[in-house]
Amino acid sequence: MKIGFIGLGNMGGPMATNLAKAGHDVTGFDMADVAIDGVTLAATGIEAATGADVVITMLPNGAILRAVANDVIPAMSKGAALVDCSTVDVESARAVADQAGAAGLLFVDAPVSGGVGGAAGGTLTFMAGGSAEAFAKADPLFDIMGQKAVHCGEAGAGQAAKICNNMILGVTMIATCEAFSLADKLGLSREKMFDVVSTSSGYSWTMNAYCPAPGVGPQSPSDNDYKPGFAADLMLKDLRLSQQAAEAADADTPMGQMARDLYAQFVENEDGAGMDFSAMLPRFEKRSRN
């Protein structure tokens, strides 16, 4: 396929490289001055999108997605697909889907899970929303960039799945960190707590696969001074999106709201900016009950 790729940052760059390595003709654009293996760089997003069978975007937020869509949709050929892999608000995903449909284009919102390592290794998970036809066009590319793609429903369903998943992730990480901090204060070794919880009803991904306690369980960012695998800043972004969606849908999500507020405090008023989201553990270690 001829692919336009807009947004060649830490995630988009390696994703575009994997597509090029698989033999696709990839033309990319980014606001920053970048060099991406196998990717021909365009001067504008419009140039990258012109004549493409599929245009993939990986952008910071919904406002930027809408602005890029305004530019590239008129330049795209009828029947082409616009595939947005950003994590944005559901409303923006649905608005761009409507805009693309009115122009005779296919649209898929397909946010990802797996982080920078997954982007580089081609092991991402895609949560996709859009028509069956649109998903079928994008699916061979998901197979190259990732290990799994789930068609979650119509436009916006991919974003809904992503923010629901990450709301669970944020809440669970906080609970895991709180439990380790409590174990410390009760004189229970972290290793013994891990041995019990990882095979008991407290089992979770944050405990078993991404343990926030250094030297306990498999390798994780906690073993690298909490340098980000998934940054606390990005968790805060996703939790804010979850609460924006909850307000729009009139959904009661008190734990999600509390997780958002705790990560906001951690990132904006403490030392969480630039740290992994599991660095909540040293935060709790330093705190007393009041």
The packing angle between helices 254-269 and 232-249, to 10°, is: 140
Instruction: Convert 180-213 to b/e letters by CB count within 10 Å (16 or more is b).
Output: bbebbeeeeebeebbeebbeeeeebebbbebbbb
Specify whether 148 is catalytic.
no
With contact defined as beta carbons under 8 Å apart, do 57 and 7 qualify?
yes
With contact defined as beta carbons under 8 Å apart, do 181 and 281 qualify?
yes
CA distance 35 to 4: 15
Closest CA to 45 of 25, 61, 59: 59
Catalytic residue among 78, 162, 227, 237: 162
234: left (phi over 0), alpha (psi -120 to 50) or beta: alpha
CA distance 18 to 189: 43
Partnered with residue 108 across adjacent β-strands are 83
Residue 230, CB-side half-sphere exposure with 13 Å CA sphere? 23
Partnered with residue 6 across adjacent β-strands are 29, 57
Helices (H), 23-154: 45-49, 62-72, 90-102, 115-121, 132-145
Catalytically annotated residues = 162
